[in-house]
Structures are given as structure tokens and as C-alpha cells.
Amino acid sequence: MDMIPAWVNGTLTPVEKLEVHRKGLRHRAVSVFVMRGTSVLIQQRAASKYHTPGLWANTCCTHPLWDESPAACATRRLREELGITGLHPVARDRVEYRADVGGGLIEHEVVDLFLAEVMGDLTVIPNPAEVQAVRWVDLYDLTAEAARWPDRFTPWLRIYLAEHSDRIFGALARV
């Protein structure tokens, strides 16, 4: 049972992950974007995920464990979800959002955003329990795709692109 940091009556408390989403509790999260130039690596969530299965999301996202730092969490999930090692994501910002993710579940996250830049090839070995596909896409094209076909993308990725692009991608968001 995964216990994640959530605020209950104003106090950060370990709460079981599914309970957090059923109750829509405000909780900590981490999102990572791996970039190669102006292209971002995105993932299609596995069909077996308990919410938003089959939708495209940023490179990886998760909830830190109760006693885990956001930076350690970002590195861990790159390895666990995508088999990516040797990258050191850099903290970009922190944002908060609330979104209905279907099935009576709510994401109300305080998200530490991370960016990792790669040059050349990157070995990606998706964990089939987490990810069914990956692809590189130009940031401009991704933003246009998410606006045109929002039902193909997770609510949080749409929010990041529409409301927080400058905070995540900096000058790349204005290219």
C-alpha cells in the first residue's frame, strides 16, 4: 500500500494513494519533462492504470513516498517507468492544480516540476505496467495537439501546457 504525503486538516500526513484520489485531498506530486532540443519525451499511460489509462502524459509523473525528496522521486520514477538512468532532473518550479481524472477520482496536486535535457540518443525501456508507448514530439506540436485533441492527453499535461509552459520550459516555450 503506497502512502503518499497529503494535507489532512492542514497537516501533512501519510495517506493511502487511492484514498487521496477518492477524497480529492491536496497532495504532493512530481512531474518530469525530458527534453532533447525543442522535443519532449512523452508517454502513453498503460491500459492497466487505475486512472487515465491510455492517455498521453509528460515524460513521467508520480507521488513521492512519505519520506522521499522530490528530486529523489523524479530520478526514481524515470528509472521505474522508463528505464532511464544517469539523468539528473533539475527543479523548475512548483504548481498546484485540481482536476477530475474520471471514475470519481480527483487529482489535487502540489507538483514539483523537473526538467532534464539530453543530447543525442537516450535509452528508454518502458515498464509495460506503467507505459504502453513513448514518443518524442516538438513542444510546439505537442501544445497544438493537446489543444486540438484534448481527450488524448491527461488533464495535468493539458494544464501544464496551457497554464505553466513558461515556468516549465522557459525560453523553449516561446520558440
Please list the pLDDT of the chain residue by residue as tens digits (175 residues).
688 999 999 999 999 999 999 999 999 999 999 999 999 999 999 999 989 999 999 999 999 998 899 999 999 999 999 999 999 999 999 999 999 999 999 999 999 999 999 998 999 999 999 999 999 999 999 999 999 999 999 999 999 999 999 999 986 765 5
- Exactly one of 60, 61, 81, 107 is catalytic; which is it? 61
Question: Is it true that domain 3-167 has CATH number 3.90.79.10?
Answer: yes
CA distance 47 to 156: 18
What pLDDT, on a 0 to 100 scale, did the predictor assign at position 120?
A: 87
- Exactly one of 68, 80, 109, 117 is catalytic; which is it? 109
What pLDDT, on a 0 to 100 scale, did the predictor assign at position 103?
A: 92
What pLDDT, on a 0 to 100 scale, did the predictor assign at position 170?
A: 84
Contact status, residue 31 vs residue 156, Cβ threshold 8 Å: yes
120: left (phi over 0), alpha (psi -120 to 50) or beta: left
Cell of 139: 513542444
Q: At what angle do helices 155-163 and 139-148 cross, to 10 degrees?
A: 120
| Catalytic status, residue 109 | yes
Task: For the chain, give every domain's residue range.
Answer: 3-167
